[in-house]
Amino acid sequence: MTLWRPVSQTVWQGRDDSAEASNAKRIFQTIHQPEQFAPISSGIALIGFECDEGVKRNHGRPGAVQAPDVLRRALANMASHQGHERLADMGSISVEGDALEAAQRALSDAVTSCQRAGMRTLVLGGGHETAWAHGRGVLDAFPDDRVVVINLDAHLDLRKAECATSGTPFRQLAHYCAEQSRVFQYACFGVSRAANTQALWDEAERLNVTLVEDLHFRRDALPSLEKVLAQADRVYLTIDLDVLPAGEMPAVSAPAALGIPALELLPVIERICRSGKLQAADLVEFNPHYDRDGQGARLAARLAWQIAHWWA
Protein backbone atom coordinates (compact mmCIF):
# COMPACT_ATOMS: atom_id res chain seq x y z
CA MET A 1 0.00 0.00 0.00
CA THR A 2 1.40 3.39 -1.00
CA LEU A 3 2.46 5.93 1.64
CA TRP A 4 2.34 3.18 4.29
CA ARG A 5 5.09 2.00 6.61
CA PRO A 6 5.20 -0.47 9.50
CA VAL A 7 6.01 0.88 12.95
CA SER A 8 9.55 0.45 14.20
CA GLN A 9 10.04 -2.28 16.79
CA THR A 10 11.73 0.32 19.02
CA VAL A 11 8.42 2.18 19.52
CA TRP A 12 6.57 -0.52 21.48
CA GLN A 13 8.70 -0.86 24.60
CA GLY A 14 8.08 -0.66 28.33
CA ARG A 15 8.59 -2.16 31.76
CA ASP A 16 8.50 -5.95 31.94
CA ASP A 17 6.62 -7.17 35.05
CA SER A 18 6.00 -10.69 33.75
CA ALA A 19 8.10 -12.20 36.57
CA GLU A 20 5.36 -11.12 39.03
CA ALA A 21 2.48 -12.99 37.37
CA SER A 22 1.38 -14.30 34.01
CA ASN A 23 -1.18 -11.52 33.68
CA ALA A 24 1.14 -8.66 34.68
CA LYS A 25 1.15 -7.39 31.12
CA ARG A 26 1.49 -4.00 29.50
CA ILE A 27 0.25 -2.83 26.11
CA PHE A 28 3.61 -3.30 24.42
CA GLN A 29 3.47 -6.99 25.38
CA THR A 30 -0.04 -7.70 24.08
CA ILE A 31 -0.36 -5.53 20.97
CA HIS A 32 -0.14 -7.38 17.66
CA GLN A 33 2.36 -5.99 15.14
CA PRO A 34 1.80 -7.43 11.64
CA GLU A 35 4.74 -7.05 9.27
CA GLN A 36 2.41 -6.31 6.35
CA PHE A 37 -0.81 -4.36 6.01
CA ALA A 38 -3.19 -7.31 6.12
CA PRO A 39 -6.53 -6.69 7.89
CA ILE A 40 -8.01 -9.61 9.82
CA SER A 41 -11.59 -10.53 10.68
CA SER A 42 -11.73 -8.93 14.14
CA GLY A 43 -9.91 -6.62 16.50
CA ILE A 44 -9.06 -2.93 16.66
CA ALA A 45 -6.76 -1.65 13.93
CA LEU A 46 -4.47 1.07 15.28
CA ILE A 47 -3.38 3.31 12.39
CA GLY A 48 -1.15 6.37 12.49
CA PHE A 49 -1.69 9.35 10.18
CA GLU A 50 1.56 11.32 10.08
CA CYS A 51 0.29 14.62 8.80
CA ASP A 52 0.07 18.29 9.66
CA GLU A 53 -0.29 19.64 6.11
CA GLY A 54 -3.94 20.42 6.85
CA VAL A 55 -2.92 22.41 9.94
CA LYS A 56 -0.39 24.36 7.87
CA ARG A 57 -3.03 25.17 5.27
CA ASN A 58 -5.33 26.31 8.07
CA HIS A 59 -2.60 28.63 9.42
CA GLY A 60 -2.15 26.62 12.60
CA ARG A 61 0.95 25.49 14.49
CA PRO A 62 2.60 22.53 12.72
CA GLY A 63 3.97 19.55 14.62
CA ALA A 64 1.13 16.99 14.66
CA VAL A 65 3.00 14.99 12.01
CA GLN A 66 5.11 13.57 14.86
CA ALA A 67 2.15 12.61 17.05
CA PRO A 68 1.41 8.96 16.14
CA ASP A 69 4.67 7.44 17.37
CA VAL A 70 4.82 9.73 20.42
CA LEU A 71 1.35 8.56 21.40
CA ARG A 72 2.26 4.93 20.73
CA ARG A 73 5.22 5.26 23.11
CA ALA A 74 2.97 6.79 25.78
CA LEU A 75 0.45 3.98 25.34
CA ALA A 76 3.04 1.20 25.26
CA ASN A 77 3.81 1.17 28.99
CA MET A 78 0.20 1.31 30.17
CA ALA A 79 -1.25 -1.85 31.72
CA SER A 80 -3.02 -4.25 29.37
CA HIS A 81 -6.51 -5.10 30.59
CA GLN A 82 -9.66 -6.47 28.99
CA GLY A 83 -10.04 -5.25 25.43
CA HIS A 84 -6.43 -4.26 24.89
CA GLU A 85 -5.50 -7.67 23.52
CA ARG A 86 -7.63 -6.78 20.48
CA LEU A 87 -5.25 -3.96 19.45
CA ALA A 88 -3.24 -4.55 16.28
CA ASP A 89 -0.82 -1.89 15.09
CA MET A 90 -1.46 -1.64 11.35
CA GLY A 91 1.30 0.91 10.76
CA SER A 92 1.23 4.53 9.64
CA ILE A 93 0.39 6.53 6.54
CA SER A 94 2.38 9.68 5.82
CA VAL A 95 2.24 12.64 3.46
CA GLU A 96 4.80 13.10 0.71
CA GLY A 97 5.61 16.81 0.57
CA ASP A 98 2.37 18.77 0.53
CA ALA A 99 0.31 16.06 -1.20
CA LEU A 100 -2.37 15.93 1.50
CA GLU A 101 -5.12 14.62 -0.71
CA ALA A 102 -3.13 11.55 -1.78
CA ALA A 103 -2.40 10.70 1.87
CA GLN A 104 -6.06 11.17 2.77
CA ARG A 105 -7.03 8.81 -0.04
CA ALA A 106 -4.54 6.24 1.26
CA LEU A 107 -5.96 6.49 4.79
CA SER A 108 -9.54 6.19 3.52
CA ASP A 109 -8.63 3.06 1.58
CA ALA A 110 -6.84 1.54 4.59
CA VAL A 111 -9.82 2.25 6.85
CA THR A 112 -12.30 0.80 4.37
CA SER A 113 -10.19 -2.35 4.01
CA CYS A 114 -10.01 -2.85 7.77
CA GLN A 115 -13.70 -2.15 8.31
CA ARG A 116 -14.84 -4.47 5.52
CA ALA A 117 -12.63 -7.24 6.89
CA GLY A 118 -14.35 -6.98 10.29
CA MET A 119 -11.98 -4.73 12.23
CA ARG A 120 -12.73 -1.43 13.90
CA THR A 121 -10.33 1.46 13.41
CA LEU A 122 -8.56 3.64 15.98
CA VAL A 123 -6.54 6.33 14.20
CA LEU A 124 -3.88 8.51 15.80
CA GLY A 125 -3.57 11.79 13.89
CA GLY A 126 -2.31 14.11 12.59
CA GLY A 127 -4.35 17.24 12.34
CA HIS A 128 -8.12 17.20 12.03
CA GLU A 129 -7.74 16.70 8.29
CA THR A 130 -7.59 13.09 9.51
CA ALA A 131 -11.38 13.16 9.91
CA TRP A 132 -12.21 13.65 6.23
CA ALA A 133 -10.14 10.58 5.36
CA HIS A 134 -11.27 8.44 8.30
CA GLY A 135 -14.93 9.39 7.96
CA ARG A 136 -14.94 8.76 4.21
CA GLY A 137 -13.40 5.33 4.80
CA VAL A 138 -16.18 4.39 7.21
CA LEU A 139 -18.91 5.72 4.92
CA ASP A 140 -17.49 3.71 2.02
CA ALA A 141 -17.37 0.54 4.13
CA PHE A 142 -21.06 0.83 5.10
CA PRO A 143 -22.90 2.51 2.20
CA ASP A 144 -26.35 1.40 3.34
CA ASP A 145 -26.05 2.30 7.04
CA ARG A 146 -26.75 5.48 8.98
CA VAL A 147 -23.26 6.57 10.04
CA VAL A 148 -23.34 9.35 12.63
CA VAL A 149 -20.26 11.50 13.14
CA ILE A 150 -19.68 12.63 16.74
CA ASN A 151 -16.99 15.25 17.17
CA LEU A 152 -15.67 16.26 20.60
CA ASP A 153 -14.16 19.60 19.69
CA ALA A 154 -14.03 23.31 20.43
CA HIS A 155 -14.38 23.94 16.69
CA LEU A 156 -17.05 23.05 14.14
CA ASP A 157 -14.51 22.49 11.33
CA LEU A 158 -17.06 23.40 8.67
CA ARG A 159 -14.87 25.97 6.95
CA LYS A 160 -15.24 26.84 3.30
CA ALA A 161 -11.86 26.72 1.56
CA GLU A 162 -10.38 26.16 -1.90
CA CYS A 163 -8.57 23.02 -0.71
CA ALA A 164 -8.74 20.58 2.18
CA THR A 165 -7.45 21.82 5.53
CA SER A 166 -7.76 20.82 9.18
CA GLY A 167 -10.76 23.17 9.31
CA THR A 168 -12.79 21.63 6.47
CA PRO A 169 -13.31 17.90 7.21
CA PHE A 170 -16.97 17.94 8.17
CA ARG A 171 -17.96 20.24 5.33
CA GLN A 172 -16.22 17.75 3.03
CA LEU A 173 -18.09 14.85 4.62
CA ALA A 174 -21.36 16.76 4.22
CA HIS A 175 -20.68 17.27 0.51
CA TYR A 176 -19.70 13.60 0.15
CA CYS A 177 -22.97 12.48 1.72
CA ALA A 178 -24.92 14.85 -0.53
CA GLU A 179 -23.22 13.40 -3.62
CA GLN A 180 -24.39 9.94 -2.54
CA SER A 181 -27.87 11.07 -1.50
CA ARG A 182 -27.09 10.10 2.09
CA VAL A 183 -28.19 12.01 5.17
CA PHE A 184 -25.28 13.82 6.82
CA GLN A 185 -25.60 13.26 10.57
CA TYR A 186 -23.11 15.28 12.58
CA ALA A 187 -22.93 16.23 16.27
CA CYS A 188 -20.32 18.51 17.83
CA PHE A 189 -19.96 18.38 21.62
CA GLY A 190 -17.91 20.94 23.54
CA VAL A 191 -18.03 23.55 20.81
CA SER A 192 -16.97 27.08 21.78
CA ARG A 193 -19.05 29.95 20.44
CA ALA A 194 -16.04 32.20 21.00
CA ALA A 195 -13.90 30.05 18.69
CA ASN A 196 -16.36 29.88 15.76
CA THR A 197 -17.60 32.76 13.63
CA GLN A 198 -21.29 33.38 13.03
CA ALA A 199 -20.80 32.13 9.46
CA LEU A 200 -19.73 28.73 10.83
CA TRP A 201 -22.65 28.76 13.25
CA ASP A 202 -25.01 29.47 10.34
CA GLU A 203 -23.49 26.60 8.34
CA ALA A 204 -24.03 24.25 11.28
CA GLU A 205 -27.68 25.31 11.44
CA ARG A 206 -28.08 24.79 7.69
CA LEU A 207 -26.69 21.25 8.01
CA ASN A 208 -28.86 20.51 11.07
CA VAL A 209 -25.83 19.78 13.24
CA THR A 210 -26.49 18.73 16.85
CA LEU A 211 -24.55 21.18 19.04
CA VAL A 212 -23.62 21.11 22.72
CA GLU A 213 -21.70 24.21 23.74
CA ASP A 214 -18.84 24.11 26.22
CA LEU A 215 -20.82 26.23 28.69
CA HIS A 216 -23.68 23.71 28.71
CA PHE A 217 -21.70 20.50 28.39
CA ARG A 218 -22.22 19.23 31.94
CA ARG A 219 -25.99 19.72 31.68
CA ASP A 220 -26.73 18.79 28.07
CA ALA A 221 -24.08 16.35 26.79
CA LEU A 222 -25.47 12.99 27.92
CA PRO A 223 -29.16 13.73 27.16
CA SER A 224 -28.23 15.02 23.70
CA LEU A 225 -25.99 12.02 23.14
CA GLU A 226 -28.85 9.60 23.74
CA LYS A 227 -30.85 11.25 20.95
CA VAL A 228 -27.86 11.11 18.60
CA LEU A 229 -27.17 7.44 19.31
CA ALA A 230 -30.80 6.55 18.70
CA GLN A 231 -30.43 7.85 15.12
CA ALA A 232 -27.31 5.80 14.36
CA ASP A 233 -26.59 2.38 12.96
CA ARG A 234 -22.88 3.05 13.38
CA VAL A 235 -20.85 5.84 15.00
CA TYR A 236 -17.60 7.47 13.99
CA LEU A 237 -16.12 9.29 17.02
CA THR A 238 -13.45 11.91 16.44
CA ILE A 239 -11.75 13.65 19.36
CA ASP A 240 -9.92 16.89 18.73
CA LEU A 241 -7.70 17.21 21.78
CA ASP A 242 -8.19 20.98 21.82
CA VAL A 243 -11.61 20.27 23.34
CA LEU A 244 -9.68 19.85 26.61
CA PRO A 245 -8.64 22.84 28.74
CA ALA A 246 -5.21 24.25 27.90
CA GLY A 247 -4.09 23.40 31.43
CA GLU A 248 -4.77 19.71 30.77
CA MET A 249 -3.82 19.66 27.10
CA PRO A 250 -1.24 22.31 26.15
CA ALA A 251 0.06 20.28 23.21
CA VAL A 252 -2.33 21.30 20.42
CA SER A 253 -2.39 23.84 17.62
CA ALA A 254 -5.12 25.95 19.27
CA PRO A 255 -5.25 25.53 23.08
CA ALA A 256 -8.72 26.04 24.56
CA ALA A 257 -9.34 29.09 26.73
CA LEU A 258 -12.10 27.19 28.55
CA GLY A 259 -12.42 23.59 27.37
CA ILE A 260 -14.05 20.48 28.82
CA PRO A 261 -12.08 18.67 31.56
CA ALA A 262 -11.21 15.05 30.82
CA LEU A 263 -13.28 13.77 33.74
CA GLU A 264 -16.37 15.38 32.17
CA LEU A 265 -15.56 14.07 28.68
CA LEU A 266 -15.01 10.48 29.78
CA PRO A 267 -18.66 9.62 30.61
CA VAL A 268 -19.62 10.72 27.09
CA ILE A 269 -16.81 8.66 25.57
CA GLU A 270 -17.76 5.66 27.70
CA ARG A 271 -21.42 5.86 26.67
CA ILE A 272 -20.43 5.91 23.00
CA CYS A 273 -17.99 3.02 23.42
CA ARG A 274 -20.50 0.86 25.29
CA SER A 275 -23.37 1.64 22.91
CA GLY A 276 -22.44 -1.23 20.60
CA LYS A 277 -22.52 1.22 17.69
CA LEU A 278 -18.98 2.60 17.75
CA GLN A 279 -17.28 1.61 14.50
CA ALA A 280 -14.32 3.99 14.38
CA ALA A 281 -12.55 6.52 16.58
CA ASP A 282 -9.60 8.85 16.33
CA LEU A 283 -7.56 11.31 18.39
CA VAL A 284 -6.25 14.31 16.49
CA GLU A 285 -4.30 17.58 16.78
CA PHE A 286 -1.76 16.37 19.36
CA ASN A 287 1.40 18.43 18.84
CA PRO A 288 4.48 17.14 20.72
CA HIS A 289 6.33 20.44 20.19
CA TYR A 290 4.15 22.12 22.78
CA ASP A 291 3.90 19.34 25.34
CA ARG A 292 5.04 19.79 28.95
CA ASP A 293 6.94 16.84 30.41
CA GLY A 294 4.83 14.41 28.40
CA GLN A 295 1.63 15.59 30.12
CA GLY A 296 -0.41 15.89 26.94
CA ALA A 297 0.90 12.63 25.49
CA ARG A 298 -0.05 10.71 28.61
CA LEU A 299 -3.57 12.16 28.67
CA ALA A 300 -4.14 11.50 24.97
CA ALA A 301 -2.81 7.95 25.37
CA ARG A 302 -5.09 7.43 28.37
CA LEU A 303 -8.08 8.39 26.22
CA ALA A 304 -7.00 5.86 23.60
CA TRP A 305 -6.52 3.29 26.39
CA GLN A 306 -10.05 3.91 27.69
CA ILE A 307 -11.60 3.66 24.24
CA ALA A 308 -10.00 0.26 23.64
CA HIS A 309 -10.98 -0.90 27.14
CA TRP A 310 -14.62 0.22 26.85
CA TRP A 311 -15.19 -0.64 23.19
CA ALA A 312 -18.12 -3.06 23.25
Tell me the per-residue pLDDT of 123-146, one tens digit each, with 9 for 90 and over.
Answer: 999 999 999 999 999 999 999 999
pLDDT exceeds 90 at position 88: yes
Tens digits of residue pLDDT in 209-250: 999 999 999 999 999 999 999 999 999 999 999 999 999 999
pLDDT exceeds 90 at position 303: yes
Task: List residues forming the annotated binding site for Mn(2+).
Answer: 128, 153, 155, 157, 240, 242
Instruction: Specify the pLDDT at position 312.
Output: 84
**Which contiguous run of DSSP H or E holds residue 201?**
helix 198-206
CB atoms within 10 A of CB 139: 24
Task: List residues forming the annotated binding site.
Answer: 128, 153, 155, 157, 240, 242
134 to 53, 182, 188, 250: CA distances (angstroms): 16, 17, 17, 25
What CATH number should be reported for the domain holding residue 306?
3.40.800.10
Kindly list the strands in the beta sheet with 147-152, ordered across the sheet, starting from the edge strand earlier in the chain.
4-5, 87-94, 44-50, 120-125, 278-284, 234-240, 147-152, 185-191, 210-213
- Overall domain count for the chain: 1
Q: Outline where 208-248 has alpha helix (H).
A: 217-230
pLDDT > 70 fraction of the chain, expressed in percent and rounded? 100
Measured CA to CA, the distance from residue 44 to residue 86 in angstroms comes to 6
E runs forming strands in 44-101: 44-50, 87-94
Average pLDDT over residues 3-8: 94
Tens digits of residue pLDDT in 176-191: 999 999 999 999 999 9
Instruction: Specify the pLDDT at position 1.
Output: 67
Measured CA to CA, the distance from residue 205 to residue 217 in angstroms comes to 19
Tens digits of residue pLDDT in 40-60: 999 999 999 999 999 999 999
Q: Residues 207, 158: contact at Cβ < 8 Å? A: yes
Query: The domain containing residue 217 runs over which residues?
Result: 4-310
Instruction: Specify the pLDDT at position 143.
Output: 97
